[in-house]
Amino acid sequence: MRRLAVVLTVAFLCLASQANAQSAEERAGARVLIARHGSAVVFVLGTTKLRINQGGKEVPTSDQRIQALVTIIDGSGLGVMSLTALDPSDVLAAQLSRGRGAGAGVSVSAEPAELRYRLADGREVPVRVVLRDKDLDLAFLRPVEKPATPLAAIDTAAVRPLPVDAVVVLQRLPELASWQPTALFYSVQAVIEKPRLFYLLTGGSVGAPVFDMKGGFLGVILRLKNEADAANVPPIVLPANDIREVAKQAN
Task: Return the ∠ at Cα 76 (arms to 72 and 80), rounded to 5°.
Answer: 30
Amino acid at 191: V
Strand partners, 82: 138
What does each C-alpha distance from 25 to 30, 155, 213 come to in angstroms?
9, 23, 10
Q: Are 207 and 141 in contact, with CB atoms under 8 Å apart?
A: no
DSSP 8-state class, residue 158: B
Interval 50-78: pLDDT, tens: 777 776 677 767 788 999 999 999 999 99
Interval 157-184: pLDDT, tens: 999 999 999 999 999 999 999 999 999 9
Q: Cis peptide leading into 163, omega within 30 of 0?
A: no
Q: From CA 25, how far away is CA 35, in angstroms rounded?
A: 15
User: 91 falls in which pLDDT band (50, 70, 90)?
Assistant: confident
The sign one gets for the Cα dihedral 240, 242, 245, 246 is negative
Interval 232-243: pLDDT, tens: 668 999 999 999
Q: Are 227 and 239 in contact, with CB atoms under 8 Å apart?
A: no
Q: What is the pTM of this model?
A: 0.84
What does each C-alpha distance from 118 to 41, 111, 221 come to in angstroms?
10, 20, 19
Lowest pLDDT segment from 2-16, 38-52, 127-141: 2-16
**Nearest in space to 73 (alpha carbons), one of 45, 31, 42:** 42
Q: What is the mean pLDDT of the chain?
A: 86
User: According to CATH, what is the number of the domain 40-143?
Assistant: 2.40.10.10
User: 19 falls in which pLDDT band (50, 70, 90)?
Assistant: very low
